[in-house]
Amino acid sequence: MSNAQVKSAMRAFEILEHFRLSQQPRTMSELSTDLGYPLSSTTVLLKTLVNLGYLNYDRGKRVYFPTTKVTGLGDWVPRALFGSGQIIDAMNDVHAATSEGIFVGTRNDVYLQYLKTKQSLHALRFFIDEGTVRPITRSAAGWVLMSTMSDDKIENMVRRANIATQNPAERVLVPEIFERIAEIRARGYGWAEDVPFAGGATIAVLMPGTILGSPVTLGLGGVADRIKKNFDKYLGALRNAARSVPAEPDFDTPIHIEL
């Protein structure tokens, strides 16, 4: 595949992502300006997406907007990932008890990926968008996921994650990770301060069962001082929520995912 084809594919997804964030019709010039694309490239991409049925073009108003075909691409995913909703219920329980940012994460190659998030209600907070990935070595949730692996696989994971991490300052030492994982295996939870956000803190626990064959973590994050002040309460809420999820989630009952 040529670099031009890769760039076009990336830009097509970026256009759809832009609509997800703006949630309103956009003109071609607005999309070109907002995304920093040449007008000629934007014209071709939008025409292609219209022809494929993913965008609607209102010729009178000269604006574009996604069609339901975009929704159809992934409307089956929540049930495939979360079963009948026990994991989502667990997230909601922790959020109700803490009002902090809550997430469900799993491993995606050498990354931690936030599959589902629920944003904090506190005035001072950190924002993590659903689908975000970061090196698995750079978060408490990532360490929790790695704690389920054998030592040789952990070492291999760290080395591969370091290769994929462009910023040298974010690369980690293997002994450092083994120290973190030893603590998690002894305590039964992961804890991180100032990682990945300065001034922030995270608590994460392992969930029963797997998603697509990978271990799952339930985590809570927010301002470090507030997390430390409420540590016992927050850890208890996470553990209670994790215990409420069966090891074999029900994938047969329909689920409603709050958007």
Tell me the pLDDT tens digit for each residue of 227-253. 999 999 999 999 999 999 877 654 444
* pLDDT, average across residues 150-155: 96
Looking at residue 83, its pLDDT comes to 66
Reduced DSSP (H G I as helix, E B as strand, rest coil) percent helix, strand, coil of the chain, to 5: 50, 20, 30
Question: Which amino acid type is present at position 57?
Answer: Y
pLDDT score of 237: 97
pTM of the model: 0.75
Whether residue 139 is predicted with pLDDT greater than 60 in this model: the reply is: yes
pLDDT value, residue 254: 46
Q: Are 64 and 46 in contact (CB under 8 A)?
A: yes
Where helices occur in the chain by DSSP H, the ranges are 3-22, 28-35, 39-51, 68-74, 77-82, 86-98, 140-146, 151-164, 174-187, 224-229, 231-243
pLDDT confidence band for 1 (50 / 70 / 90) = low
Q: Quote the CA–CA distance of 217 and 189 in Å, as a whole number.
A: 10
Confidence bin at 158 (pLDDT 50/70/90): very high
pLDDT digits (tens, 9 = 90+) for 102-121: 999 999 999 999 999 999 99
Whole-number pLDDT of residue 200: 95
Q: What are the C-alpha distances in Å from 71 to residues 77, 119, 198? A: 11, 22, 36
Band of residue 257 on the pLDDT scale cut at 50, 70, 90: very low
Average pLDDT over residues 143-169: 95
Q: What is the pLDDT of residues 16-34, one digit of tens each?
A: 989 988 899 999 999 999 9
- Which residues touch 247 (CB under 8 Å, ≥6 apart)? 208, 209
- 201-237 pLDDT per residue, tens: 999 999 988 887 889 999 999 999 999 999 999 999 9
